[in-house]
Chain A
Amino acid sequence: SSSITDLLNALCSCSLSGVSWKRRALGGVSKESFHRALKKRAYGALLSKLFQDGTKGPASRQSATANTPARNKVLMMCFDLRVAGCREEAERLEELLEKLPEGESSGLKEVDAVLDLLVCLAGCAPPPFTSF
């Protein structure tokens, strides 16, 4: 298993896929220097979030959904999808949630944490390209 630093490095590399470095090197931006800058921003975001969490009092930390189980948050998204008229997607999401094994049977230790992450990232990618 890799360390957190190795994994963050890998995440930075992933986010640089698709960038052409040949021409960039001519412009003075090397892959290494940009990778270093990315790592700095990644650690900055991670640490600021951790410190924010540490400085908030117990009352302010409790947002409406802070204690909602991850699976319930996904079910709430299914509801939102239905309201938005995306019935098929909502049904598929519910099916997948039922299929998703809980606890040790999933082979993972933190399935609910991963679900929480997916909920935090929901809708933040650009919509898929559709041709006319």
Chain B
Amino acid sequence: MASAANANLNAVRETMDVLLEISMLLNTGLDMESLSICVRLCEQGINPEALSAVIKELRKASETLKVSENCTN
């Protein structure tokens, strides 16, 4: 039982490593933490296209904040 769980954990880890490298090659801007969250959201049934819209919206908002921070420096 425990070895099956370990095997599954190893499989997830390997898959995540491959997905992260693909993500980097495609220049998506996702780090491991945000990729893991996205994977879990996809597993919960969130549509990938809708999720990409959410990520782009969040980036726009946080970029605005960072730009205003640079302007005040």
Binding between chains A and B: yes
Complex: chain B residue closest to A37, CB-CB: B61
Residues of A within 8 A of B46 (CB): 4, 46
Q: Which residues of A contact B (CB under 8 A)?
A: 1-4, 7-8, 10-12, 14-16, 18-20, 23-24, 27, 29, 34, 37-38, 41-42, 44-46, 48-50, 53, 74, 77, 89, 92-93, 96-97, 99-101, 105-111, 113-128
Considering only residues 2-18 of chain B, those with a C-beta below 8 Å from chain A are 8-15, 18
Q: Are B40 and A7 closer than 8 Å at their CB atoms?
A: yes
Q: Are B15 and A11 closer than 8 Å at their CB atoms?
A: no
Supposing A7-B40, A7-B44, A50-B47 touch, asked if A15 and B26 sit within 8 A by C-beta, the answer is no
Interface size on B, residues (CB 8 A): 50
How far is B65's CA from A117's CA once the two chains are assembled, in angstroms?
25
How far is B73's CA from A27's CA once the two chains are assembled, in angstroms?
13
Q: Which of B11, B27, B52, B59 contacts A105 (CB 8 A)?
A: B11
Q: Are A123 and B40 closer than 8 Å at their CB atoms?
A: no
Scoring B9, B11, B42, B56 by chain A CB atoms within 10 A of each residue's CB, the highest score goes to B42
Q: Are B53 and A46 closer than 8 Å at their CB atoms?
A: yes
Q: Are A120 and B52 closer than 8 Å at their CB atoms?
A: yes
Complex: chain A residue closest to B58, CB-CB: A15
Over the window 55-73 of chain B, the binary record of Cβ atoms lying under 8 Å from chain A Cβ atoms (1 yes, 0 no) is: 1111101100110010010
How far is B21's CA from A29's CA once the two chains are assembled, in angstroms?
36
Of all A-B residue pairs in the complex, the 3 with the closest CB atoms, nearest first, are A125-B29, A107-B11, A120-B52
Q: Which of A18, A27, A118 contacts B66 (CB 8 A)?
A: A18
Q: Are B59 and A15 closer than 8 Å at their CB atoms?
A: yes
Q: Are B55 and A11 closer than 8 Å at their CB atoms?
A: yes
Complex: chain A residue closest to B46, CB-CB: A4
Q: Which of B11, B27, B61, B72 contacts A125 (CB 8 A)?
A: B27
- Give 11 A-B contacts (CB < 8 Å), ordered by A residue: A4-B44, A16-B62, A38-B58, A45-B50, A46-B51, A49-B47, A101-B11, A108-B15, A115-B22, A118-B19, A121-B30
